[in-house]
Amino acid sequence: MNLTFSLLVAVCLAYVTFLFVVAFAGERAAAKGRSLMRGPTIYTLSLSIYSTAWTFYGAVGYAARSGLEFMTIYLGPTLVFIGWWWGLRKLVRIGRAERITSIADMISSRYGKSNLLAVIVTLLAVVGTTPYIALQLQSVTLSFGVFAAPGTQASELTGLAFWVACGLAVFTILFGTRKLDIGERHDGIVSAIAVEAVVKLVALLSVGAFVVWGINGGAAATGEAIATSPVANWTAVPGRWAGLIFVSGAAVICLPRMFQVLVVENSDERHLVTASWAFPAYLMAMCIFVVPIAVTGLARLPAGSNPDLFVLTLPLAEGQGGLALLAFLGGFSSATSMVIVASVALATMLSNHVVMPLWLAAQNRDGSGQAQASISGDVRGVVLRARRASILVVLAMGYLYFLATGGTAALASIGLISFVGMAQVLPALGFGLFWTGATRLGAAAGIVTGFVIWAWTMLVPVLAGPTSVGPFGIEWLRPEAPFGLTGDPLLSAMILSLGLNTFVLCLTSLLTRPTPMEQLQAPRFVQVFDRTAAPRGRRSYHAGAEELLIMAQRILGASEAQEVFAAESRAQGRPSDLPETTPDLLDRLERKLAGSVGAATAHAMVTGITGDAAVSVEDLLAVADETAQIMDYSARLEASSAELVRTAGELRAANDKLTALGHQKDAFLSQVSHELRTPMTSIRAFSEILRGDEADGRVSDEDRARYAGIILDESERLTRLLDDLLDLSVLESGQVVLNPADVTLRTVIDRAVTAAGTVSLGLRIDRDPEGEDVTLRTDPDRLSQVFINLITNAAKYCDADEPALRIAVMAEVDGVIVDFTDNGSGIAAPDRGLIFEKFARLSDQAAAGSAGLGLAICREVMARLGGSIDYLPGQGGAAFRLRLPGETRTAGTARAAE
Amino acid sequence: MIDIPSADAPVDAPRGRVLLIEDEPNIATAIGFLLQREGWRVSTHSDGRTALDAVVRHAPDVIVLDVMLPGQSGFEVLGGLRAGQNGTRADLPVLMLTAKGQTKDRDRAEALGVSRFMTKPFSNRELIEAVRDLARTAPG
């Protein structure tokens, strides 16, 4: 088969067309929901983009130069998939739960949705991946060059690289940005790269089989050839091996394209189970014939042949044009699938973390307060355009880098350099998954530190060429020997960058406090497996469901957004209405949006509408208590403790009241005791004196009579006291029975004056005969009791030389006023409030032997009669005003009316 | 304010002076009679406010003090006495009488340094013995 350059181009175009068809078919099948498309096999095959053109062609070259060392590139991922399966599952679980769109989104999301961190990781990814894309373009160009006529100009090949890049851009844009939500994944692209994975494997195995059995004549002979080949003269450097295995293990997780297929494109966590053995098996198959091809190539091809192209040149040299074409397609597949997925991944990062935030900020600057809600136009369109532009930018950068450095040996080592570069994300990712204490600042500081060291020690020597002295003559800054490390440059650069990265991350994390948002996010990642579906309970409910729906429609598309809201409405039991914006809905919505625009942007958009971009008080509580559950628990505790405080307050008040009542009761009993014991003391003392006197006869008759009189007086005082107490108790309890009768006031006063007769002997009483001529309906006995009390009080306490009491009566519209005023010195102002209290006998006037219950009884009686008694100041002597209720008429008027 | 004249004292050699501070006239009469019959010279005072002046004036050997007094309670009088107000002898024996009969009154009196505390009504013999005991143990 005679291969011409034009035929090759035609085959390529046919192959690409075939891939387009596959991709279309894949999308159609996925749209119809065929599960076959997203099975574990396809997932495992898509992971094969780990093997790029660098490994497809380069592994043979690597083996030709360094023996089995190329194996490390395959051993790393193998160890990760077999040995760290659990960790991968955690990564995938988080990726699905949080709708992670890229490695940058993952890091950003873990560290409090920090966009700064996302930008740093995006930058790192772009810097690390662009040369790698250039490498793919170069490999395609080189492989074309093998078939080109000897006289072909290099510029023609370069032009070819341009068209390859353009074709890839078209393909990627077509299948990479059809839908917005990354969570829906790129079925077309995954289908295409799965097919390419098969082509790669078949091509390499075919060439290998041809070399072993077709050229060398069997496995045994091949083994012999290997044993005698210079390839066998290699030595494994343990440190370098360990380093390479580690860095390629890190790469299989951290490389943007690997993260894309491993986490973002994963449709079912269980696919990892298959991938954990099938992917290592694929890698082993890919490298099984590497050494034979290398050995045979070195033996058979003319000296100076590029070992990186043995896969192509060996079949060609043996006249196997068809096999060479297959090998070419294998290499082409490796290159294109890597470029496609890498540019999708990078474009996602760029648009979500760089373009969209800038665009949002620009929108915010124009608009007022409710920025996100007032975004005009279709956000979907903006995001898609941003992503398409990003794809073009990524590919353009790759192409330009290829133009700038193409053809130089610089590209050969770029694969490992890229690995180490992206591995700088590993500490942030690893600590983020397992240590809640890792902070945003720690991650940023670690990544930046690693990034700078990596760029200086690995990237600069490639770009600027080897150096012999450090900048400004500072020897320890020389990229090839940083800090005077003169060992394996790759190894020392790797250890230095990753070591300092980790150290700075840990140190900064320990020294800084995580923001509330970080503290919310960290447990969602670290404890993803034991996370219960507790809502974060962090947002206010005032967010407008309508505004949220409008925004969601712009990003998710009308039908899907409406479906999300309708489902929520049904769940809330209000199917005909918009759902309430519960934290649960907001959480779900935010994650849904995160699938399109990344966590940080989605968070900014949702909080922009809900109006609590700042962390709320509940947030802080949640953070303080580390988890939402604890917050909930503590909130309940708080509620019940508030209730306890309230109850305790009520109890205390009740207790105070009881205590006060108790004190009153104590004081009352104490006074009763005093009032009872005082007369009993006299009675007992004189009784003993009189009884003893019968024996000694030392008491005079006069004294004996006096003492007997005292005993009698004190006994009467006791009786009076008991009567008063009982009376008061009946009055106070309200159980008093009144016997109302129509009676004139004069009759009642007459009766009272007569009753007080003996006591009030020295007291002159001035009366008001006309006023008294008024008829009342009242209890005459009770009323006269009050009058007697007032008359005897005046008789006892009026200190005038000629004591006199005036009883004045005034008729009112709805009752009668009776004033009792004496001509004594009255009651001092401070005492006036006390005189109606029980036992309020004013001490200066103690001599009269009254218990001090009189006025208290008067007050109770007047209250029962529906009237009142008050001290009337400013009358010269002691004055009491009584008000009696009822329709009154003077007796005369009454008679006249008859 | 009734000062029972010391001339009423029996012919026996006087045992000493008692100041009775009590506002109930009948009780004052009873205690006065009992103590005079036992050979004490008894002065009676009925106002709390001027009680300490009376102590200075009468220079008694024993004080019988009621709690419920007009003007100033027996506790305040006792406190003032023990603090040496008005230049009284702070260590005079004081027999305190109360009609309230509550333990907290007894506690308060003891805290203030009362010499003896009795609840009304009392037996005559107990009262007389208490005053006699106080006079015997009295300093100076």
Number of domains within chain A? 5
Average pLDDT over chain A reads 78
Give residue A892's pLDDT.
45
Q: What is the pLDDT of residues A202-222, one digit of tens each?
A: 998 999 888 888 888 877 888
CB-based contact B33 A703, cutoff 8 Å: yes
A743: enclosing H helix or E strand: strand A741-744
Higher pLDDT, A614 or A544: A544
Q: What is the pLDDT of residues A117-131, one digit of tens each?
A: 889 999 989 888 888
Cα distance between residue A637 and residue A785, in whole Å: 62
Q: Which CATH number does the domain housing residue A680 bear? A: 1.10.287.130
Disruptive mutation site among A680, A688, A704, A707 for chain B (greatest number of B CBs within 10 Å): A688
- Residue range A72-81: mean pLDDT, rounded: 88
Cα distance between residue A32 and residue A11, in whole Å: 31
Say which amino acid occupies A254. Answer: C
Q: What is the pLDDT of residues B95-120, one digit of tens each?
A: 999 887 778 888 888 999 899 999 88
Specify whether A536 is located in the same domain as A490: no
Q: Are A462 and A410 in contact (CB under 8 A)?
A: yes
Q: Kindly tell me the sign of the dihedral angle through the C-alpha atoms of A633, A634, A635, A641.
A: positive
- The tokens of A490 are what? 């790759």
Beta bridge partners of residue B66, listed in sequence order: B97
Give residue A614's pLDDT.
46
Cα distance between residue A314 and residue A298, in whole Å: 10
Specify whether A485 is located in the same domain as A546: no
Disruptive mutation site among B120, B125, B126, B128 for chain A (greatest number of A CBs within 10 Å): B120
Ordered alpha helix ranges (H), A734-766: 745-755
Q: Are A821 and A878 in contact (CB under 8 A)?
A: yes
pLDDT band at B94 (very low <50, low <70, confident <90, very high): very high
Specify whether A511 is located in the same domain as A557: no
Candidate from A678, A698, A713 with C-beta closest to B37 = A698
Is the predicted pLDDT of residue A304 greater than 70, yes or no?
yes
Closest CA to A415 of A102, A47, A107, A62: A62
Q: Are A554 and A603 in contact (CB under 8 A)?
A: no
Judged by average pLDDT, the poorest of A362-366, A486-490, B1-5 is B1-5
Is the predicted pLDDT of residue B65 greater than 90, yes or no?
yes
Residue written as token pair 């009468």: B58
Which distant-in-sequence residues (6+ apart) come within 8 Å of A435 by Cβ? A509, A526
Is the predicted pLDDT of residue A652 greater than 90, yes or no?
no
Cα distance between residue A40 and residue A322, in whole Å: 32
Give residue A615's pLDDT.
47
Give CA A619 to chain center in angstroms: 5
Q: How many residues does chain A have?
A: 898
- Shortest distance between the Cα of A670 and any Cα of chain B, in A, equals 5
Is the predicted pLDDT of residue A655 greater than 60, yes or no?
yes
Specify whether A165 is located in the same domain as A24: yes
Specify whether A765 is located in the same domain as A664: no
Give residue A890's pLDDT.
52
pLDDT band at A3 (very low <50, low <70, confident <90, very high): low
Say which amino acid occupies A122. Answer: T
CB-based contact B124 A688, cutoff 8 Å: yes
Give residue A477's pLDDT.
65
- ipTM given for this complex: 0.87
Q: Are A746 and A770 in contact (CB under 8 A)?
A: no
At which of A626, A646, A666 does a domain end? Answer: A626
In chain A, positions 692-721, which contact chain B (CB-CB < 8 Å)?
692, 698, 703, 710, 713-714
Is the predicted pLDDT of residue A744 greater than 80, yes or no?
yes
Q: Are B17 and B60 in contact (CB under 8 A)?
A: yes
* Residue A663 neighbours by CB distance under 10 Å: 10
Is the predicted pLDDT of residue A538 greater than 50, yes or no?
no
A883: enclosing H helix or E strand: strand A879-885
* Residue A757 neighbours by CB distance under 10 Å: 11
Percent of chain A exceeding pLDDT 70 equals 81
CB-based contact B99 A677, cutoff 8 Å: yes
Q: Kindly tell me the sign of the dihedral angle through the C-alpha atoms of A427, A433, A438, A441.
A: positive
Q: What is the 3-state secondary structure (H, E, C) of A542-589?
A: CCCHHHHHHHHHHHHCHHHHHHHHHHHHHHCCCCCCCCCCCHHHHHHH
CB-based contact A681 B122, cutoff 8 Å: yes
Residue written as token pair 């503590």: A634
Task: List the end-to-end C-alpha distance of chain B, in Å, as a whole number.
Answer: 29
CB-based contact B121 A843, cutoff 8 Å: no
- Domain with A125, as residue range(s), is 5-230+257-358+374-409
Is the predicted pLDDT of residue A103 greater than 50, yes or no?
yes
Cα distance between residue A534 and residue A523, in whole Å: 12
Q: Which CATH number does the domain housing residue A327 bear? A: 1.20.1740
| pTM of the entire predicted model | 0.55
Q: What is the pLDDT of residues A171-203, one digit of tens each?
A: 888 777 766 554 456 788 888 888 889 998 999
Is the predicted pLDDT of residue B12 greater than 60, yes or no?
no
Cα distance between residue A798 and residue A889, in whole Å: 33
Beta bridge partners of residue A580, listed in sequence order: none
Is the predicted pLDDT of residue A608 greater than 70, yes or no?
no
Cα distance between residue A897 and residue B4, in whole Å: 68
Beta bridge partners of residue A778, listed in sequence order: A741
Residue written as token pair 């990062």: A349
How would you class A343 by CB atoms within 10 Å of its CB: exposed for 0-12, middle for 13-18, buried for 19 or more?
buried
Specify whether A455 is located in the same domain as A553: no
Beta bridge partners of residue B20, listed in sequence order: B44, B64
Candidate from B70, B100, B124 with C-beta closest to A670 = B100
Specify whether A751 is located in the same domain as A854: yes
Disruptive mutation site among A671, A672, A681 for chain B (greatest number of B CBs within 10 Å): A681
Percent of chain A that is helix, strand, coil (3-state, to 5): 70, 5, 25
Q: Are B38 and B15 in contact (CB under 8 A)?
A: yes
Q: Confirm whether A525 is domain-assigned.
A: no
At which of A581, A602, A626 does a domain end? Answer: A626
SS3 A241: helix
- The tokens of B95 are what? 């027999």
* B123 contact residues in A (CB cutoff 8 A): 684, 688
Judged by average pLDDT, the poorest of A104-113, A114-123, A470-479, A699-708 is A470-479
Closest CA to A793 of A826, A766, A767, A815: A826
- Strand order across the beta sheet in which A764-766 lies: A764-766, A804-812, A815-822, A879-885, A868-871
- The tokens of A274 are what? 């298959």
CB-based contact A678 B120, cutoff 8 Å: yes
Specify whether A351 is located in the same domain as A386: yes
Specify whether A609 is located in the same domain as A712: no
- Residue range A405-430: mean pLDDT, rounded: 77
Q: Confirm whether A246 is domain-assigned.
A: no
Specify whether A794 is located in the same domain as A866: yes
Give residue A621's pLDDT.
44
Cα distance between residue A720 and residue A714, in whole Å: 10
Say which amino acid occupies A778. Answer: T
Q: What angle do CA A218, A224, A229 make, to 5 degrees?
A: 120
* B25 contact residues in A (CB cutoff 8 A): 847
Give residue A563's pLDDT.
79
Percent of chain A exceeding pLDDT 90 equals 4
Give residue A567's pLDDT.
81
- Residue range B81-103: mean pLDDT, rounded: 84
Q: Are B93 and B114 in contact (CB under 8 A)?
A: no
Percent of chain B that is helix, strand, coil (3-state, to 5): 45, 20, 40
A686 vs B: CB within 8 A: yes
Q: Confirm whether A414 is domain-assigned.
A: no
Candidate from B25, B70, B124 with C-beta closest to A843 = B70
In chain A, positions 811-870, which contact chain B (CB-CB < 8 Å)?
843-844, 846-847
Candidate from A681, A703, A847 with C-beta closest to B120 = A681
Q: What is the pLDDT of residues A16-75, one digit of tens each?
A: 888 888 888 887 777 776 655 568 888 888 888 888 887 788 888 888 888 888 888 888
Q: What is the pLDDT of residues A521-533, one digit of tens each?
A: 777 777 777 644 4
At which of A626, A653, A673 does a domain end? Answer: A626
Q: Are A852 and A838 in contact (CB under 8 A)?
A: yes
Q: What are phi and psi of A233, to 5 degrees?
A: -85, 60
Q: What is the pLDDT of residues B40-57, one digit of tens each?
A: 999 999 888 888 888 888
How would you class A662 by CB atoms within 10 Å of its CB: exposed for 0-12, middle for 13-18, buried for 19 or more?
exposed
- Residue range A848-861: mean pLDDT, rounded: 77
The CATH number of B14-137 is 3.40.50.2300
Candidate from B25, B99, B123 with C-beta closest to A847 = B25
A677 vs B: CB within 8 A: yes
Closest CA to A419 of A505, A476, A491: A491
Q: Are strands A741-744 and A774-778 parallel, antiparallel or unpaired?
A: antiparallel
Specify whether A16 is located in the same domain as A160: yes
CA distances from B100 to A601, A670, B119 (A): 83, 5, 8
A665 vs B: CB within 8 A: no
Cα distance between residue A66 and residue A867, in whole Å: 120
| DSSP state for residue A833 in the 8-state scheme | T
Give residue B130's pLDDT.
92
Q: What is the pLDDT of residues A694-734, one digit of tens each?
A: 656 678 888 888 888 999 988 888 888 888 888 888 888 87
pLDDT band at B22 (very low <50, low <70, confident <90, very high): very high
Residues of B with CB under 8 A from a CB of A: 23-27, 29-31, 33-34, 37, 68-71, 99-102, 119-124
Specify whether A752 is located in the same domain as A809: yes
Give residue A558's pLDDT.
67
Instruction: Domain ranges for chain B, please list them.
Output: 14-137
Q: What are phi and psi of B111, to 5 degrees?
A: -65, -30
